[in-house]
Amino acid sequence: MGRDFTVGDLVVHKRYPQWGVGKVIEVWKGNLPGGRAYVKVAFEDGKVRVFDGDLRSSTCCLKGGLMRLKGGD
């Protein structure tokens, strides 16, 4: 899955710009086929949020608005 997040990625949430820029601090992927995946992000507003990271899921964070920033953004 080429769009996976990795620890250290900088991200923003399109629906909640007031959260500020976030940094991915943990990525967890299940080892079993069909297993769950999660992305934990620390945002500038001081809160840590956990998102569904399974690209096959309808609630996946990429479909929900979490976007990786490219260098220099």
Rounded CA separation 49/26 (Å): 11
Task: Please tell me the pTM assigned to this model.
Answer: 0.80
Stronger pLDDT, 44 or 59, i.e. the higher one: 44
At 2 the pLDDT is 36
Inside any domain, residue 22:
yes
Stronger pLDDT, 36 or 28, i.e. the higher one: 28
Q: What are the residue ranges of helices labelled H in the chain? A: 61-64
Inside any domain, residue 1:
no
pLDDT band of residue 34 (cuts 50, 70, 90) is low
Inside any domain, residue 31:
yes
Rounded CA separation 44/59 (Å): 23
Inside any domain, residue 3:
no
- Residue 19, classed as helix, strand or coil, is helix
Inside any domain, residue 73:
no
Q: Residue 51's closest CA among 63, 62, 36, 61? A: 61
Q: Are 3 and 67 in contact (CB under 8 A)?
A: no
How many domains does the chain divide into?
1
Inside any domain, residue 5:
no
Inside any domain, residue 14:
yes
Which domain range does residue 46 map to?
10-68
